[in-house]
Chain A
């Protein structure tokens, strides 16, 4: 794990093919009081290459969020295991950045101090990360807003701060749970490209959960399609949409072919009817 502040991005071979995250036959059941069990995930297995961008797309309640919790080590699976860089996950591990649908910014901290929250929690030397925090904020177009409080920022700007907070400690893995779902469609696209630019500059393995088929295709190297509860993998696709992605990617015939294919999978599963 690289913690050098603000320096050039470490040389990682992008999508070297070596898998960084392996989900091995994951099942997760929740106890529902008084005595029933809810199966949220059922035998999910997939592998994500180092510095790969994997989107997980599926209907509400298919266990997408559970998958992220398991990967972060916040929940323990009922069966199967998560393996990160060859080591099985047994609890919260150092090296995860998380972004949720809600930005979860602390209202009483400035943008800069919100970005630095992970450094404080990890008891690292804050002064060494201030420059890095500033450069991250600049990278998402928030230069000049370092000392603004969240209430002074728009929803899109707030989510950008949340993104910087997830990246400040330079975690190798980024877990994103519908991060742009509460943002208007135009800002949403902009944020997606911001994310691609950030991960190009600081290579990360990304696990990105979304409801939107278009978003799943536009951002990813790999799409995992989950079916309705209990969540199972309906299909895994390699995304061969050429890079770098831009608004023009939407008019590429491969974009439409992939979107149609995923829609077809959902239709066959009875999700769209």
Chain B
């Protein structure tokens, strides 16, 4: 892997981490615990196959297919299971003009990997994990999102193996769009609850 290293920061921690991680991989390989090629495949899966477009496809389908939307809100794992593999306990929560949903994991970094890929650094970092349950409007302001003051805000702290996917509201100006066009405007943040999809020209 050294030949393909993309690290540009040559700070001491980084060099140390590169060495320590490489040493551990050597140990696990020498002991016959892992085949490095299988590790390559895991990394590749998360870099190229699993990402927010998986969730965006689901949201776009829910926007255009009322029966699917109903099934998704009733049992997201089951509804999505008809389209591809998904683990248990996925819950889709719908944004409405009356209520906005936002998802956090205050204890670690629980996140619907299969729908959104690996979480971004901010989702796993102290500012988001500490403030979202106490000051969600302040956190939304950090993302440039301002909601009417009477909108109910519901914070979902992912403390167990249930995972949450926000179903954002379909923005105005998207009438007649295809599922594919709609999927393109469904952002990762809108499915966490820290963003709102926008119709782009």
A and B together in one complex:
no
